[in-house]
A and B are shown apart, each in its own frame.
Chain A
Amino acid sequence: ETGVTQSPTHLIKTRGQQVTLRCSSQSGHNTVSWYQQALGQGPQFIFQYYREEENGRGNFPPRFSGLQFPNYSSELNVNALELDDSALYLCAFSSGGGNQPQHFGDGTRLSIL
């Protein structure tokens, strides 16, 4: 058990809608990263938050946005959903530093109809 909790576990939306995914950790780690994993692919980096500030972003459009709260929990928001947004969304916590492992939750499975 990593102590990372993601909610909801599954979600079905239609094109054009908006969605909010949530992530929290019991570890006290202050850095949270979000990844998108399409079927049969490795996770792709969306963005990272450290002390409530965005600390790097991958090749995702601005309709993907996030927040980190003072207790280090985090939200991923996606606006104007597209069919290609269907994927497993993973969050991961770490203590910071590129040599520290990131510990993942079990993800939110998002399906767009």
Chain B
Amino acid sequence: EDQVTQSPEALRLQEGESSSLNCSYTVSGLRGLFWYRQDPGKGPEFLFTLYSAGEEKEKERLKATLTKKESFLHITAPKPEDSATYLCAVNSGGSNYKLTFGKGTLLTVNP
């Protein structure tokens, strides 16, 4: 069974203080690893898809990387508007395309 573990559970940063969120996964065969951002009372908002080890994707202050066992979401010079819960999910194949999610990392960026 697919497993996704995210760490830390919560992270508090000062504005401009860069850091990384971790997503460790165990799957039988990775089809895709997905990062989402979720604001309170909202649904998850798609950020990135990573398909194979060594791949990197960037969007504004966010950069996602992938190895065979984990993914990192690097946040460079964060701003208060980056505060949200960041969710990692995997799809490992089979006949359906379900996503298995981690519990998320709650990021708070203080001004």
Contacts and interface: CB of A to CB of B under 8 A. Distances in A.
Interface of A: 2, 4, 6, 31, 33, 35, 40-45, 48, 50, 55-56, 58, 90, 92, 94, 96-107
Contacts of A107: 42-43
B93 interface: yes
Given A104-B44, A106-B41, A99 B99 contact: no
A102 B41 contact: no
Given A43-B44, A55-B96, A100-B32, 12 more contacts: A33-B98, A42-B87, A42-B89, A42-B101, A43-B99, A48-B96, A48-B98, A50-B96, A97-B97, A99-B49, A101-B46, A101-B49
B98 A58 contact: yes
Given A90-B43, A98-B91, A99-B32, A42 B104 contact: yes
B34 interface: yes
Interface string B81-108: 0000001010111111111111110000
A100 B97 contact: yes
B103 to A, nearest CB: 5
24 contacts: A2-B43, A40-B103, A42-B89, A42-B102, A43-B87, A43-B101, A44-B101, A48-B97, A55-B95, A55-B96, A56-B94, A90-B43, A92-B99, A94-B97, A97-B97, A98-B31, A98-B92, A99-B49, A99-B51, A100-B97, A103-B46, A104-B36, A104-B45, A105-B43
Interface in B52-111: 87, 89, 91-104
Interface residues of B, number: 29
Nearest to B97: A98
Interface of B: 4, 31-32, 34, 36, 41-46, 49, 51, 87, 89, 91-104
Nearest to B46: A101
B93 A98 contact: yes
A98 B56 CA distance: 19
Contacts of A103: 46
